[in-house]
Structure 1
Amino acid sequence: MNFLQTADSVRYQRMTSAELRENFCMEGMFRAGELNLTYTDVDRALVGAAVPLKHQPLSLPTHKELASDYFCERREVGVVNLGESGRVEVDGKSYVLAPLEFLYISRGSRTVNFFSDGDTPAEFYLVSYPAHRETETVHVTMDKANTVELGSIEGSNERVIYQAICPGVVDSCQLVMGVTRLSKGSVWNTKPPHTHRRRTEVYLYFDFPEDERVFHFMGQPHETRSLPLAPKTAIASPYWSIHSGAGSCNYSFVWAMGGENQQFDDMDHLSLGDLG
């Protein structure tokens, strides 16, 4: 397991791009035949990817740092499939996840295994937060998610937000998770930007060509920084940081949040004029 110790709200201002990347980004997670995890100090979020090969399932392990007998002993997990159709088996029950389908795995689930049934593997992206109660494991297809259309072509930010793991859809403990897809001709997400001190967030950018980039904006509103991110790069956003991006083309991103409040619109809004 890798470890990501993020910089504080003062130190990041003096960092180079390479140092910012080292402190906030998770790159190279999606490797065929591997399950890779990163433990962050951003609300103790665990972020990872599992890319099982055909007839070679991968199991979600526990680690010394979790001090638990099994991974979900005190944790909940959100999973979304970014590859071909695959299966996730939780305590012996199998869930088939088509592309962009989600699985919420409850605290108390003892075994979690990932499978690819075809020659082209599934690509499971997962985010986990500590949980204080057991609920129920739930498979969420796109038609079950709350769908919100925002933005406009004129503002270069026409997008559809799919709220998959959230109140009213899944009874999670603190995890809120979904995916946002930008329309062709739109490049801005989360415009105007915002912060939310009551929870932290992790973004994973995907669904754009390898030679294109999304420029992720971060930092305190009066002192922002940006990083160009390749496809399937995740970035942790502490409570004090904005989290917004503009791409060289349209793209999609998975967002996952954990903290005190699960309300999606619990934001402290900013204007572009507030940024420095």
Structure 2
Amino acid sequence: MNMEIRYAAHPQDVKSYDTARLRAEFHSGNLMVSGEINLVYTHYDRFIYGGVFPVWEPLSLPNYDALKADYFLERRELGIINVGWKGKVTVDGEEFELQNLDVLYIGKGKKEITFESIDPNSPAKFYLNSSPAHQSFPTVKATKEDANIVDLGTQVAANKRTIYQFIHEDGIQSCQLVMGVTELKAGNIWNTFPPHTHDRRMEVYFYFDLPNDQIVMHFMGQPQETRHLAVKNEEAVISPPWSIHAGAGTSNYKFIWGMAGENKSFSDMDGVPLQDVL
């Protein structure tokens, strides 16, 4: 059960990165591997993200030496979104069934977390976000119907999309984790454009429900020093607080966004006019 460590990078240094270095620092593939838990620990706000893909046997969330804790959630909270078929998460003996795009928030202090698929022939895939927590909040399950739903964009601009806000200041309560899903409508390809940064929070995007023969070009970097990453289905990108985070796909797609940092205000962002993007 792997947990990769990623260090923070200064924007002045990132200017000199070639494609391979940029991908090594900010891109994550192979998060959803059958029968495995694969997590990434980034030094940006000590955020953890990754995939749990149980098939024939349940998988238990392990403790990792990098956490220097007695158990994973001793000083952390956890958000889970199922991007596969029907599955089950057991939290200290309490069972929660999760359909596709159901969400489960688990607060600080829970000790035993187990993941399993209801039908191994149609397995669940659980995407995880975790951040440090200094207060404990109740475990809460939510469906898409429970989310705060925001429709944005236009067909003319090819960015018509629906945002499902799950873990946020007016939704499921957390210590600092913010999490939700954005779904692009058919015929629309752009997300988070015009772009923004939010210097008080970092963010991770996990792209999914993208056809395997299609890609998303994810744009990152300071607004005047943009770079791009080619992202495939079920891959993720770390977005530092100083970076824009936007993308254009060769098909419509969905992505999970997770944030942690100074506050939980979804609207706390610094917009960047298009004429200032280079």
Asked whether the two chains share a fold, i.e. TM above 0.5, the reply is yes
Q: Which residue of 1 aligns with 2:84?
A: 83
Q: Which residue of 2 aligns with 1:96?
A: 97
Deviations 1:59-115 (CA, angstroms, capped at 9, x unpaired): 001111101111000000100000000000001000000001100010000110001
8 A Cα contact 1:216 1:227, kept in partner: yes
8 A Cα contact 1:6 1:24, kept in partner: no
Give 1:152's aligned amino acid: T
Within 5 A, what are the aligned runs for 1:38-117?
38-54=40-56, 56-117=57-118
In structure 1, runs of 5+ residues without a counterpart are none
Give 2:225's aligned amino acid: E
In structure 2, runs of 5+ residues without a counterpart are none
- CA drift at 1:212: 0.6
Distance in 2 (alpha carbons) for counterparts of 1:202 and 1:110: 25
Deviations 1:220-270 (CA, angstroms, capped at 9, x unpaired): 011100111111111111110010111111111000000111111111001
8 A Cα contact 1:103 1:137, kept in partner: yes
Distance in 2 (alpha carbons) for counterparts of 1:7 and 1:248: 29
Task: Give yes or no for the alignment of 1:159 onto 2:156.
Answer: no
Give 2:46's aligned amino acid: R
Q: Which residue of 2 aligns with 1:272?
A: 274
- CA drift at 1:7: 2.5
Give 2:33's aligned amino acid: R
Distance in 2 (alpha carbons) for counterparts of 1:229 and 1:7: 20
8 A Cα contact 1:86 1:97, kept in partner: yes
Q: Which residue of 1 aligns with 2:151?
A: 149
- CA drift at 1:186: 0.7
Give 1:184's aligned amino acid: A
Distance in 2 (alpha carbons) for counterparts of 1:166 and 1:95: 21
Give 1:99's aligned amino acid: N
- TM-score, normalised to structure 1's length? 0.98
Q: Percent of pairs identical after alignment? A: 48
Distance in 1 (alpha carbons) for counterparts of 2:135 and 2:226: 37
8 A Cα contact 1:86 1:115, kept in partner: yes
8 A Cα contact 2:27 2:229, kept in partner: no
Within 5 A, what are the aligned runs for 1:108-257?
108-118=109-119, 119-257=121-259
Alignment: residue pair count = 275
- TM-score, normalised to structure 2's length? 0.97
